[in-house]
Amino acid sequence: MSALLSLNSVETYIGGSRILRGVDLEVRTGEVVALMGRNGVGKTTTLRAITGVLPVRSGAITFGGQRIDALPPDARARAGIGYVPQGRDIFPHLTVEENLHVGLVVHGRRGAAARAALDRVYTLFPVLKEMLSRKGGVLSGGQQQQLAIGRALLTDPKLLILDEPTEGIQPSIIEQIGDTLKKLKDEGLGHNYSQEVQNAVKGLKAEGKLAILLVEQFVDFCRDCADRFYAMDRGAVVVSGPIAALTDEVVKEHLQV
């Protein structure tokens, strides 16, 4: 299967210093890929390069078979890249419902399509439906993370990028998010409704499935959810492979502080 996202020899600079040093990485449709490494090795910088927040000095980034490394961030988002940054970036003074509505407005979803998309999010994260009138800023860290992921899903992404989704979250919520990621990997985004023929196509699965790129330090979470992994050190990928190759020896050498 060809890659949905591909990075080839990507290099970036910040303030004159080279941060990414020839990063090669790919994510295929329907799989979860973990990008791992100690703090400060370039993981978040890689995500910023993919989303267009940080310019690429050399190398190529392709998405869906098209070069995107010269496109602005908004064009990459419209192409189907959803991003949940570290810290979540929800709107704290808006309610849960209003935060989710932002995702619908960005993608232009209305009517039956919007209701179907929201129902999917509520199925994945039932707590959100119970807290629609609460302000985002009063939610717990785990609830905010679920809200951020749910809002990103409402933009109908082909690729969902998650930066440290378990940071500061209770173990029970980590398990719930992990179960959700596995469900997304297996089922995609569920049903694809069209207003014109919604009654005819209701219940049919979307043709494409969701790909997930996950930056995460919680090794057990990655082993449970991911299909493949990349480990970085000093701005470069130093080891990669199927998740079964993420042995204790690899963890000790490349991930433990």
pLDDT tens digits, one per residue of 139-151: 887 788 888 888 9
Q: What is the CATH number of the domain that holds 16?
A: 3.40.50.300
* Region for 187 from its dihedrals, namely left if φ exceeds 0, alpha if ψ lies in -120 to 50, beta otherwise: alpha
Helix extents (H) in 5-84: 43-51, 73-79
Single-letter code of the amino acid located at 210: L
Q: What is the mean pLDDT of each run of 10 residues along the chain (257 residues)?
A: 91 94 94 91 96 96 96 94 84 95 83 88 87 92 84 89 77 71 63 23 36 86 87 96 95 86
Structure confidence by residue, pLDDT tens digits, 50-107: 999 999 999 999 999 999 999 999 999 999 999 988 776 889 999 999 999 998 887 7
- Total domain count for the chain? 1
Tokens 């998405």 sit on residue: 63
Domain containing residue 248: 3-254
Q: In which element (H, E) is residue 25 found?
A: strand 17-28
214 pairs with which residues across the strands? 34, 162
- Number of Cβ within 10 Å of residue 231's Cβ equals 22
Helix extents (H) in the chain: 43-51, 73-79, 96-107, 111-124, 126-130, 141-153, 171-187, 198-201, 219-225, 248-254
| Nearest CA among 166, 171, 117, 116 for reference residue 146 | 166
Whole-prediction pTM: 0.83
Rounded Cα–Cα distance for residues 190 and 28 (Å): 18
